[in-house]
Chains A and B, each alone.
Chain A
Amino acid sequence: MSEDNSGGGKVRNSVSGAGTVTGTVAGAGEYFTAYPDQVLENVIENVLVFLTSRHDRSTVSLVCKSWYRAEAHTRSDLFIGNCYAIAPKRVTDRFKRIRSIALKGKPRFADFSLLPVDWGAYFTPWAHAMANAYRALEKIYLKRMLVTDDDLAVIAHSFVNFKEIVLVCCEGFGTTGLALVASHCRNLRVLELIEDDVSVSVDEVDWISCFPTEGTTNLESLCFDCVEAEVNFDALERLVARSPLLKKLKLNTPVSIRELYKLIVRAPQLTHLGTGSFNPFVEINQQQGDHQEPDYAAAFAACKSIVCLSGFREIAPEYFPTIVPLCGNLTSLNLSFANVNAEQFKPVIRHCHKLQVFWALDSICDEGLQAVADTCKDLRELRIFPVDAQEYDEGPVSEVGLLAISLGCRKLQSILYFCQQMTNAAVIAMSKNCPDLVVFRLCIIGRYRPDRVTGEPMDEGFGAIVKNCTKLTRLAVSGMLTDRAFSYIGQYGKLVRTLSVAFNGDGDNGLKSVLEGCTNLQKLEIRDCPFGDSGLQSGLHRFYDMRFVWMSSCRVTRQGCLEVARRLPKLRVEVFRRDEEEGERGDFVETLYMYRSLDGPRPDAPQFVEIL
């Protein structure tokens, strides 16, 4: 914030406008004023520079008008959890010096096709507003927003000092937009595309070649594993060779293991590597003589800095052991695209004793999870995804694996676990063995499944989680649950901020317990539960303090939603249906999505969305 102190000619109170008298100041050393407000504001501003937490800043801005102005003047990082909670203009009017912005758009259930296409979350109005107001913008983080190639063009052309762009679960853009960012953002340090749906077109643009070709780049992070289109490998190789600061490189699926080899020998300083396919794609034709295969294991051994490994998008399992030399250093391993079985997995995982984050497919089975539990004593985060995402009576992972993890990985903080069957006993055991759990997301794929052994609902298991895991902030429930489970959640889940409910519950009392009990609840997403209007009404006192509530295929009626909208004018109550509906729901609303907003109903709502 050096410009605040430069030359003293700046007049603070010109920013505030109303109430204070303007006056010039001679120089920094001769600063004198008869207006204590100005002094106070200066002091506050210089102090506020050090305040980075947005929650603290929010609090500061509420003290008085003077502090509000000072805070608005000094805030450089903006976080907007719901792009429709506030209009871009209001943001640019209040904050003048934004360097980085984080924006989130669609609700999470959009990931599972529950939100119609064209619902919204367009980045375009934000891009234009910021292009005018924040010429010094350096960082953009977007999640679940619709970003077009034109938007990327605006970014590329508007911000001279642009450094970082991170797009998570976004869509609407393609290689054209990427090429523009690569060519024009000369100071680019970070380009991360994470789980985006990058449009495929007939003419793919060679965007990798668009990075400056002369001299060294400032690139520190280049992640494009979700891009389907093959990149120009020669250009990529040259780019990596002249990016001495590159620490994170995540390659996409078309990159073969041989190409990976060529890259990592040029970039031994990498800390985060996404391997691409991990597949040679070609096979040596036996009759045609021998072509030497590179020594992959030696190349990996030379990468002493790699702590985070992912990729394996089309793994040829016979190459998997080549990563063993790396394993001792790994703190994060993502095998969630690698369909490897327990036999292939165990020889590798037993070297990963420093692992803290582990993602995998359930192809490793309970046996593989036992191996994780035996070795990874420092594990903090575990995610197990299903290879075959359908409902079956049995699956490769079960309560056995969960129990093993709970016994072996006592420091576990976050778990996402897909399985077909579960028992209360295993969940209760985890609640006791892993008291540090902050995130507990259990997805029993078989809907309405009770405890596999006792036949009872899964109430006691989830009850134990909320009771024993006192730091829990995020919870996703599944299986057969009655009102009792929700009563536990309401009673004990005082820190829970995000709650996901699907195909559970007996009736409105469940929703009531949650809305009345979970005093810190921010995000509530519910689908296919027998919760209706009276349950919804019981949350009226909380909805202004929440980021959003989503209820689809439940039993809320239009009348009930109207009532909420009437009582809470600052709440945007959207009702709509999915694209293809089978049969009528009568008076029941298909989807209710509501969120607080400082501005009126969004102007870009499509026809099928009704804002009550």
Chain B
Amino acid sequence: MVRSSIVTLYITSQSFPYTHSHYQLLSITIIPTKMSSEASTITSEPPTTAVVSIGSLSTNDTELTLGLPGGNSRKSGAKRTFSVTTDLKLGGTDRSSLECSVVRRSPSSKEQVVGWPPVRSYRKNMAKSGCKYVKVAVDGAPYLRKVDLELYSGYQQLLSSFEDMFSCFAINNVMEEMKLMDPVNGTEYVPTYEDKDGDLMLVGDVPWKMFVESCKRIRLMKNSEAGSSGMYKSQLT
């Protein structure tokens, strides 16, 4: 069945081009754009995205090609390459006959445009995915706390926050082992955590980033318990 496809393209340049005549058309790439099904109630099929690349060039690389972006035309060393939108009404073509790249390109998401979108800085980063909340339990305390591991840049900061949160603690760095101590009764607490695999680990064993990635919950264990649970033995293996 013959259908016409409306192809829409997006301008993705960071700043508008100047009036220099040596910008040349490099290539046009047709890429299907994903559309969520509930939104496309009006069109019968999702539009495709075509990226038209234009760059400044001194070579003769100006032929129109259908191909993936990133071909040798890009290596012109152009300071300012950008893509231009035009409407291409591809009449009479069946979608399946188009040589479509399945790579969905959102070039603009890679470029950091200053001050765009016009949202004030404290309103940015509202996405939950930025948070890495884990529960912190202290043996013997009635309340759990939640900490957002994304907020800290390292173990020292994390321990400091425990000091603040559970104000009875003081950090006691003994021989590079991280421990917390309650000065009132001299009880030592060892920070431990449960990782993705359900294993009980000592906080500080793995590099920070790996810890943030794998930590599920944190438990400040009384030192006596830590010894008896064979924590130190498992560390040696």
Instruction: List chain A positions with a Cβ less than 8 A from chain B.
Output: 109, 111-114, 195, 226, 281-285, 288-289, 291, 336-337, 339, 361, 363, 385-394, 398, 400, 418, 421, 443, 445-450, 452-456, 480, 500, 502-503, 527-530, 553-555, 578, 583, 586, 588
Quick one: which of B8, B33, B109 contacts A391, CB cutoff 8 A?
A: B109
Which of B7, B16, B121, B127 is the one whose CB lies under 8 Å from A555? Answer: B16
Give 18 new A-B contacts, CB below 8 A, not counting A283-B144, A443-B118: A109-B115, A113-B121, A114-B114, A195-B120, A195-B122, A283-B145, A285-B141, A390-B109, A391-B109, A391-B117, A394-B35, A418-B117, A445-B116, A448-B10, A448-B11, A454-B6, A502-B116, A528-B15
A476 → B minimal CB distance (Å): 8
| A530 contacts B16, C-beta separation under 8 Å | yes
Q: How far is the CB of B151 from the nearest CB of chain A, in Å?
A: 12
B210 to chain A, nearest CB (A): 26
How many whole Å from A379's CB to the nearest CB in chain B?
21
Note all chain B residues with C-beta closer than 8 A to A337: 126
Whether the pair A389, B117 counts as a contact (CB closer than 8 A) is yes
Q: How far is the CB of A43 from chain B (nearest CB, A)?
A: 49
Residue pair A583, B79 in contact (C-beta under 8 Å): yes
Q: Which 5 A-B pairs have the closest CB atoms?
A: A112-B115, A448-B11, A288-B142, A455-B8, A282-B143
Tell me the bound Cα distance from A166 to B109 in angstroms: 38
Q: Contact check: which of B85, B104, B144, B145 meets A393 at CB < 8 Å?
A: B104
Listed A/B pairs (6) with beta-carbon separation below 8 Å? A285-B141, A363-B126, A448-B85, A455-B47, A555-B16, A586-B18
**Could you tell me which residues of chain B, from 36 to 51, have a CB within 8 Å of some CB in chain A?**
36, 39, 42-43, 47
Among residues of A, the one whose C-beta sits closest to the C-beta of B114 is: A113
Once the chains are docked, how many angstroms separate the CA of A289 from the CA of B127? 34
Q: Does chain A have a CB within 8 A of B75?
A: no
Q: Write the nearest CB–CB distance from A126 to chain B, whole angstroms.
A: 24
Q: Identify B120's interface contact among A112, A285, A503, CB under 8 A.
A: A112
Residues of A within 8 A of B85 (CB): 448, 450, 480
Closest Cβ of chain A to B7, distance in Å, is 8
- Cβ distance B36 to chain A, nearest Cβ, rounded Å: 6
Q: Are B11 and A388 in contact (CB under 8 A)?
A: no
Contacts of B106 in A (CB 8 A): 391-393
Chain B proximity of A18: nearest CB distance (Å):
49
Contacts of A283 in B (CB 8 A): 135, 143-146
Q: Is B199 an interface residue (CB 8 A)?
A: no
B17 shortest CB reach to chain A, Å: 8
Cα(A283)–Cα(B135), bound, Å: 9
Q: How far is the CB of B85 from chain A (nearest CB, A)?
A: 6
Q: B1-19, CB under 8 A of A: which get 1 and which 0?
A: 0000011101110011010
Residues of B within 8 A of A503 (CB): 116
B118 touches A289 (CB 8 A): no
Flag B131-162 by CB within 8 Å of A: 1 or 0 each.
00001010001111110000000000000000
Q: Which residues of B lie under 8 Å from residue A529 when comparing CB positions?
A: 16
Q: Does B34 contact A (CB under 8 A)?
A: yes
Chain B's interface size range is 35 or more
Q: Are B126 and A339 in contact (CB under 8 A)?
A: yes
- Name A291's contact: one of B108, B119, B127, B142 (CB within 8 Å): B142
Task: Check A394 against B119 for contact (C-beta < 8 Å).
Answer: no
- Among A285, A450, A554, A555, contact of B137 (Cβ-Cβ < 8 Å): A285
Contact between chains at A387 and B116 (CB < 8 Å): no
B residues at A contact (CB < 8 Å) = 6-8, 10-12, 15-16, 18, 33-36, 39, 42-43, 47, 79, 85, 87, 104, 106, 108-109, 113-124, 126-128, 135, 137, 141-146
Q: Do B18 and A453 have beta carbons less than 8 Å apart?
A: no
Do A336 and B10 touch across chains, with their CB atoms under 8 A apart?
no
Which of B6, B42, B124, B142 contacts A389, CB < 8 Å?
B124
Q: Chain B's nearest CB lies how many Å from the CB of A551? A: 12
- Distance in angstroms from B10 CB to nearest chain A CB is 6
Q: Which of B39, B43, B127 contacts A400 (CB 8 A)?
A: B39
CB <8 Å contact, B142 and A443: no
- Do A285 and B143 touch across chains, with their CB atoms under 8 A apart? yes
Q: Which chain B residue shows the least CB distance to A449?
A: B10
Q: A111-B120, A113-B114, A502-B116 are in contact. Are A281 and B16 (CB under 8 A)?
A: no
Q: A114 and B108: CB pair below 8 A?
A: no
Given the complex, which residues of A lie within 8 Å of B145, measured CB to CB? 281-283
Q: Kindly list chain B residues whose C-beta atoms are within 8 Å of the C-beta of A450.
A: 8, 85
Q: Which of B7, B87, B127, B141 neighbours the largest number of chain A CB atoms within 10 Å of its CB?
A: B127
Docked pose: A456 CA to B119 CA in angstroms: 26
Contact of B144 among A285, A453, A502, A553 (CB under 8 A): A285
Distance (whole angstroms) from the CB of B33 to the closest CB of chain A: 6
Q: Are B11 and A447 in contact (CB under 8 A)?
A: yes
Instruction: Pick the residue among B34, B43, B142 that contacts A285 (CB under 8 A).
Output: B142
Most chain B beta-carbon neighbours within 10 Å: one of A363, A387, A529, A530 = A387
Residue of A281, A284, A339, A447 touching B108 (CB-CB under 8 A)? A447
Which residues on the A side are within 8 Å of B12 (C-beta)?
Answer: 447-448
Residue numbers in A under 8 Å from B7 (CB-CB): 455
Distance to closest chain A CB from B134 (angstroms): 12
Q: Which residues of B contact A445 (CB under 8 A)?
A: 116-117
State the Cβ distance, B74 to closest chain A Cβ, in Å.
18
How far apart are the CA atoms of A285 and B166 in the complex, in Å? Answer: 15
Which B residues are CB-close (under 8 A) to A446? Answer: 10, 108
Q: Tell me, rounded to whole Å, the shortest Cβ–Cβ distance linking B208 to chain A.
A: 23
Residues on the B chain within 8 Å of A578, using CB: 114
Chain B residues in 8 Å Cβ range of A363: 126
Contacts of A555 in B (CB 8 A): 16, 18
**Pair A385/B123 contact, Cβ less than 8 Å:** yes
Contacts of B141 in A (CB 8 A): 285, 288
Closest to A505 in B: B16
Residue of B nearest to A400 (CB): B39
